[in-house]
Structure 1
Amino acid sequence: MPVLLSIVLPVHGVERYLPRCLDSILEATPAGESRFEVIAVDDLSPDRCGEILDDYAARDRRLRVLHLPENQGLGGARTAALPEVRGEYVWFVDSDDWLPDGTVSALVDELAQESKRDRPADVLLTDFVHAYPDGGTEPNPWRHVLVGSPLVEGATVAEHPALFRTVMSVWNKVFRREFLTGLGVSFGRGFYEDISVTYPALLAAERLRYLDRPCYFYRRGRAGAITSTASPKHADAFAQYDAIFAFLDRPDRPGRPVPESLRTLVFDRTVRQALNVYDTPGLVPADRRKDFFRRISEHFTRHRPAGYRFPGGVRGVQYRLAARGARVAYAELRRTGRLPRELKRGARAVAPAVKKGVRSSARFTAYNAFRRLPLDEHLAVYAAYWHRGYACSPAAIYEKAKELAPDVRGVWVVENRARAAALPAGLPYVIVNTPAYLKAMATAKYFVNNVNFPRTMVKRPGTVHVQTQHGTPLKAMGMDLKDHPVAADGMDFDLLQEAVDRWDFLVSSNPHTSEHFARAFPGRYEMLDTGYPRNDRLANAGPAEVAAMRERFGLAPGRTAVLYAPTHREGQGGYVPLLDVRELARRLGPGFTLLVRTHYFHTGGPGDLAAGEGAAEIVDVSAHPTVEDLYLAADVLVTDYSSMMFDYAVLDRPIVVFAPDWEEYKRNRGVYFDLFAEPPGAVTVDADGLAAALLAGDAEPGARAKFRERFCPWDDGGAAERVVRRVFPVRG
Structure 2
Amino acid sequence: MQPSLSVIVYGRNVQGHLDESLDAICLDDPGADVEVIVAAVGPSAQRVAEVHAARDPRILPVALPQDTTDAAARAAGAEQATGRWLQFVRSKDALPPGAQRAVAEHTGGLPDSVDVLLFDHVRSTWNSQGAAGRDSRVLAKAGPAPVALTDFPGLLRVAPLLGNRALRAEFWHAHAAEFRAPHPSGPHGAGPEPPTDDELFAAYATLLCSTAVACFGHVCLDHRQLRPASLPPPTPEELYAQIGQYEDVQRLMAVSGAPAALRAALYDVMVSEWLRIIARGGLSEPLVREFFHRASRAAVAWRPEGHARPAGLGGVQRSLLEQDAYVKYRLLQAANHRQHKARSALATRKRKVRAKVGARVRDFRYHRELRRPVDPCLAVFSAYWDRGVACNPAAIAAELARLAPHIHPVWTVSAAREPLVPPGTDHVVAGTRRYWEVMARARYFVNNVNFPGAVVKRPEAVHVMTHHGTPLKRMGLDQREYPAVSKGFNFRGLLARVDKWDYSVSANSHSTEVWEHAYPAHYTSLDYGYPRNDVFYRAGAADILAIREKLGIAPGRTAILYAPTHRDYEATWTPRLDLASLAERLGEDTVILVRGHYFYSGAAAPPAWLRRSGRIIDVSSYDPVEELALASDAMVTDYSSIMFDYANLDRPIVVYADDWETYAKTRGVYFDLMEEAPGRIARTQDELAEIFTSGAWRDETAAKARAAFRRRFCEFDDGHAAERVVRRVFLGESEESLPPVVPIDERTPAPTPEEAAPR
Question: TM-score range with shorter-chain normalisation?
Answer: 0.5 to 0.7
The answer as to whether partners of 1:144 and 1:572 remain within 8 angstroms in 2 is no
Matched residue type, 1:415: S
Q: What is the match of residue 411 of structure 1?
A: 410
Q: CA 1:364/1:475 → structure 2, altered by over 3 Å: closer, same or farther? A: same
Q: CA deviation at 1:678?
A: 0.6
Count of aligned positions? 432
- CA pair 117-649 structure 1, distance change in 2 beyond 3 A: same
Tell me which residue corresponds to 1:718.
720
Give the match's secondary structure for 1:370: helix
* CA displacement, residues 127-155 of structure 1 (integer Å, 9 cap, x when unaligned): xxxxxxxxxxxxxxxx99547799xxxxx
For 1:632-686, what per-residue CA distance to the aligned partner results, in whole angstroms no more than 9, with x for missing partners? 1011111100001001000000001111011111111011111111101110011
1:372 and 2:404 equivalent? no
- Secondary structure of 2:654's aligned partner: strand
Other structure's SS at 1:401 match: helix
Mapped to 1, the partners of 2:659 and 2:382 lie a distance apart of 33
Residues 515/634 of structure 1: CA separation in 2 closer, same or farther (3 Å cut): same
1:31-62 CA deviation, whole Å, 9 max, x = no partner? xxxxxxxxxxxxxxxxxxxxxxxxxxxxxxxx
**Does the 8 Å contact 1:588/1:616 carry over to 2?**
no
1:593 is displaced (CA, Å) by: 0.7
Equivalent of residue 566 in structure 1, options 564, 567, 584: 564
Alignment counterpart, residue 627 of structure 2, candidates 626, 629, 641:
629
Q: What's the counterpart of residue 580 of structure 2?
A: 582
Q: Give the drift of 1:539.
A: 2.0
1:518 aligned partner, one-letter code: E
Cα displacement string for residues 61-120 of structure 1 (whole angstroms, at most 9, x for unaligned residues): xxxxxxxxxxxxxxxxxxxxxxxxxxxxxxxxxxxxxxxxxxxxxxxxxxxxxxx999xx
- Cα distance in structure 1, aligned partners of 2:597 and 2:644: 16
Q: Shift of residue 351 of structure 1? A: 2.0
Judge conservation of contact 2:545–2:631 (CA < 8 Å) in 1: yes
Task: Verify the 8 A CA contact 1:508 1:530 in the aligned structure 2.
Answer: yes
Distance 1:725 1:251, change over 3 A: closer
| 1:439 aligned residue | 437
**Alignment match, 1:306:** 338
Change in 2 beyond 3 A, CA 1:419/1:658? same
Quick check: 1:582–1:611 contact (8 Å CA) kept in 2? no
Equivalence for 1:420:
418
The 3 A distance-change label for structure 1 pair 498 and 256 is farther
- Judge conservation of contact 2:644–2:714 (CA < 8 Å) in 1: yes
CA gap 1:472/1:718 in 2 versus in 1, 3 angstroms: same
The structure-2 alpha-carbon separation of the partners of 1:634 and 1:205, relative to structure 1 and needing over 3 Å to count, comes to same
d(CA) in 2 for partners of 1:722 and 1:389?
Answer: 23
Q: Which residue of 2 is the match for residue 392 of structure 1?
A: 391
Shift of 1:703: 0.6
Distance 1:255 1:558 in 2: 70
**For the residues of structure 2 that align with 1:671 and 1:378, how far apart are their CA atoms?**
40
Residue type at the aligned position of 1:368: H
**Equivalent residue letter for 2:390:** A
Residue of structure 2 in register with 1:361 after alignment: 360
Q: Is the 8 A contact 1:405 1:730 kept in 2?
A: no
* Partner-residue secondary structure (3-state), 1:396: helix
Q: Offset of 1:421 from its aligned partner?
A: 2.9
Q: 1:690 aligns with which of 688, 691, 715?
A: 688
Report the AA paired with residue 567 of structure 1.
Answer: T
Cα gap change, 1:605/1:494 in structure 2, threshold over 3 Å: closer, same or farther?
A: farther
Instruction: Please give the per-residue CA displacement for 1:405-446, whole angstroms capped at 9, x wherever unaligned.
Output: 222111111112x52332223221111122221110011011
Q: Flag the 1:658–1:611 CA change in 2: closer, same or farther, 3 A.
A: farther
Q: Rate the CA distance shift 1:376–1:117 in 2: closer, same or farther, 3 A.
A: farther
Q: Which amino acid aligns with 2:511?
A: T
Unaligned runs of 5+ in 1: 1-115, 119-142, 151-175, 177-198, 208-247, 260-303, 321-349
Provide the rounded CA distance (Å) in 1 between the counterparts of 2:599 and 2:483: 19
Shift of the 600–365 alpha-carbon distance from structure 1 to 2, 3 Å rule, reads: farther
Describe the superposition over 1:670-712 as per-residue Cα deviations: whole angstroms up to 9, x where unpaired: 1111111110111001111111112214121111101101100
Q: 1:727 aligns with which of 717, 726, 729?
A: 729
Change beyond 3 A, Cα 1:375–1:693: same
Look up the equivalent residue of 2:358 and give its one-letter code: R
Residue 63 of structure 2 corresponds to none
> Quick one: structure 1 residues 144 and 466, their matched pair in 2 at CA, closer, same or farther if it must change by over 3 Å?
farther
**Structure-to-structure mapping, 1:419-498, within 5 angstroms:** 419-498=417-496
Unaligned 5+ runs, structure 2: 1-66, 70-123, 132-190, 192-226, 236-279, 292-335, 738-759
Output one character per residue of 1:298-345: Cα deviation in whole Å (capped at 9) or x when no partner.
xxxxxx973565999xxx99x96xxxxxxxxxxxxxxxxxxxxxxxxx
Q: Shift in Å at residue 607 of structure 1?
A: 3.1
Partner SS state of residue 485, structure 2: helix
Q: CA deviation at 1:383?
A: 0.3
User: Is the contact between residue 560 and residue 634 of structure 2 (CA under 8 Å) also seen in structure 1?
Assistant: yes
**SS in structure 2 of the partner of residue 523 of structure 1:** coil
**Matched-pair contact (CA < 8 Å) for 1:575–1:606:** no
SS at match of 1:546: helix
Change (3 A) 1:117 1:559: closer
In the TM superposition, what are the counterparts of 1:24-423 in structure 2 within 5 Å? 145-146=126-127, 306-307=338-339, 309=341, 350-416=349-415, 419-423=417-421
Cα deviation, 1:527-550, whole Å, max 9, x if unaligned, reads: 111111110111222222112211
Percent identity, aligned pairs only, is 45
CA RMSD of aligned residues (A): 3.9
Give CA deviations for 1:233-267 in whole Å, capped at 9, x if unaligned. xxxxxxxxxxxxxxx9999889989x9xxxxxxxx
Partner secondary structure for residue 306 of structure 1: helix
Normalising to structure 2: TM-score of the pair?
0.52
Equivalent-residue separation in structure 1 for 2:354 and 2:566 (angstroms): 35
Equivalent of 2:551 in 542, 550, 553: 553
SS at match of 2:381: strand
Which segment is superposed worse, 471-480 or 485-494? Answer: 485-494
The answer on whether the counterparts of 2:130 and 2:572 sit within 8 Å (CA) in structure 1 is: no
Cα 1:203–1:460 shift into 2, 3 Å: farther
User: Displacement, 1:371?
Assistant: 1.0
The amino acid that maps onto 1:648 is Y
CA distance in 2, matches of 1:605, 1:624: 21
Give the Å deviation of 1:488.
2.2
Deviation at 1:589, TM superposition (A): 1.1
| Residue in 2 that maps onto 1:656 | 654
The match for 2:707 is 705
Find the residue that maps to 1:424 and give its secondary structure.
coil
**Aligned partners of 1:604, 1:559: CA distance in 2, in Å?**
27
Aligned partner letter, 2:473: K
Cα 1:476–1:698 change in 2 (3 A) is: same
SS of corresponding position for 1:447: strand
Distance 1:590 1:495, change over 3 A: same
Counterpart amino acid of residue 433 in structure 1 = G
Match of 1:190 in 2: none
Cα distance in structure 2, aligned partners of 1:604 and 1:562: 22
Q: What does the per-residue CA deviation read over 1:559-582, in whole Å, with 9 as the maximum and x for residues that have no partner?
A: 000111111111424432100001
The answer to whether the 8 A contact 1:510-1:712 is kept is yes
* Structure 2 residue identity aligned to 1:702: K
The SS at the match of 1:351 is helix
Question: What is the CA–CA distance in structure 2 between the aligned matches of 1:543 and 1:687, rounded to whole Å?
Answer: 33
Residue 360 of structure 1: CA displacement? 3.1
Quick one: structure 1 residues 603 and 515, their matched pair in 2 at CA, closer, same or farther if it must change by over 3 Å?
farther
TM-score by structure 1 length?
Answer: 0.54
